[in-house]
Copies of this chain bind each other. A is one copy, B any other.
């Protein structure tokens, strides 16, 4: 299936308007979207899914069909978790105001959140989105270092503001990278992963210096989600972090996707590498769907910025955001979801490896907790984006939602709500096997 090659930077699993097998009613919805929302919006799937309800790891479409959600990490403690919904509704009925008045809720949450970090990371600032958190990190890194150079991986995604889209090569060649942004190769399985990755970072630093650009920071998603999921060997990030620090730059850990326990062994992806970031950005799963995000930092990095600038995010850290995020943290702790990610993730990886023995399309698997990247390959073990897309769409027909990622679009991205169970894994594997047998 490699004839339909993946175009770098195009979105895997994007709906092609006019195609698919939509009902008349859903065709009307698509037409209404095109009229009202315009051409920059994308839908998932050959035939988009029309959702009406979610509960736990299940999503339901208009016709009442259930889909096992093996993709959406935003609803990290399960779709519509009653404890989170109740906390949000309760606070919204009492007070929703902002951080320029004193309020205990935002402090109680800030302190509880910071309790999950190494002691050095002792400040947090609240935003509404991971994009805003990374954009704030960008501003703080510039202020602290006096530098302007940023290093990102080749298929990184860090957000959609102007500055951060310019640090997100996965958005494709239609989105210019920032003038002082340098792109380095993603980590690679096998060989000297840590030394090779650090060598790429060093090359970028030298190129910056050769152009008179002072390095400001290296920023990575700590499981390299959009590069295709790279978490092993544990510790491989350390030499690259040392390299950017030696050049006067900061290390920013983007935990928007890996954070809040998903990697199983720890609360944050950076902990797998035994490195201490200068800043850590948080987002998607923080409010289980409520728009709340944040940036955790070592106090010294905010000194210059805080002295010369103020930062006010109208909705960031408002009383409802704090109450909702607190409820999410309570569920992660109370239901033992980090441990669940470790246990169920291990079963998931084992199951996929078992299935791979009978199906050559399943290439390398990279997994850490409930974050799995499964390469799909052709008969000669080459990346096969078309087959990956085909699998994603057949799984949708079988009632399972995932997507594809990676610079070649051939990596199945598996990232379910953290309440996923071993029974859910069995369901997924059964459906995947069915699809692979049909292909």
Could you list which residues of chain A lie within 8 angstroms of chain B, going by C-beta atoms? 11, 14, 26, 29-30, 32-33, 35-44, 48-54, 59, 72, 74-75, 79-80, 82, 85, 88-89, 92-104, 106-107, 110-111, 114, 122-125, 128-132, 135-136, 138-139, 160-163, 165, 171-172, 174-175, 283-284, 288-292, 297, 299, 302-303, 305-318, 320-321
Q: Is the CB of B54 within 8 A of A97?
A: yes
- With CB as the reference atom, state the residue of chain B lying closest to A22: B102
> Which one, B39, B283, B320, contacts A314 given CB within 8 A?
B283
Interface centre among A29, A53, A110, A310 (most CB of B within 10 A): A310
Residues of B within 8 A of A111 (CB): 32, 36
Residues of B contacting A82 in the complex (Cβ-Cβ under 8 angstroms): 93
* Complex contact A37–B102 (CB within 8 A): no
- The answer to whether A289 touches B311, judged by C-beta atoms less than 8 angstroms apart, is no
What residues of chain B lie closer than 8 Å to A161, measured between beta carbons?
132, 135, 161-163
Contacts of A320 in B (CB 8 A): 289-290
12 contacts between A and B (CB under 8 A): A26-B102, A29-B102, A37-B106, A37-B107, A37-B110, A39-B302, A52-B94, A74-B97, A74-B315, A128-B128, A160-B311, A291-B291
Copies per complex of this chain:
2
A214 and B48 alpha carbons, distance in the complex (Å): 40
Cβ contact of A303, chosen from B39, B54, B310, cutoff 8 A = B39
Of chain B, the residue at the smallest CB distance from A84 is: B92
How far is it, in angstroms, between the C-alpha of A54 and the C-alpha of B135 when the chains are bound? 32
The 8 closest A-B pairs by CB, nearest first: A174-B308, A39-B306, A96-B289, A89-B89, A291-B315, A38-B123, A50-B102, A162-B163
User: Chain B contacts of A104 at CB under 8 A?
Assistant: 29
Bound together, the chains give a CA A174 to CA B132 distance in angstroms of 20
> Most B CB atoms within 10 A — which of A36, A74, A88, A89?
A36
- Which residues does chain B contribute within 8 Å of A54, judged by CB atoms? 94-97
Residue in B97, B107, B160 whose beta carbon sits within 8 Å of that of A312 in the complex: B160
Chain B residues whose C-beta falls within 8 Å of the C-beta of A288 in the assembled complex: 96
Closest Cβ neighbor of A138 among chain B residues:
B162
Tell me which residues across on chain B come within 8 A of A11, comparing CB atoms: 310
Chain B residue nearest to A32 (CB atoms) is B107
In angstroms, how far is the closest chain B Cβ from the Cβ of A186? 21
Choose one: B75, B101, B317; the contact of A96 (CB below 8 Å).
Answer: B75
A132 touches B130 (CB 8 A): no
Q: Which residue in chain B gives the minimum CB-CB distance to A297? A: B38
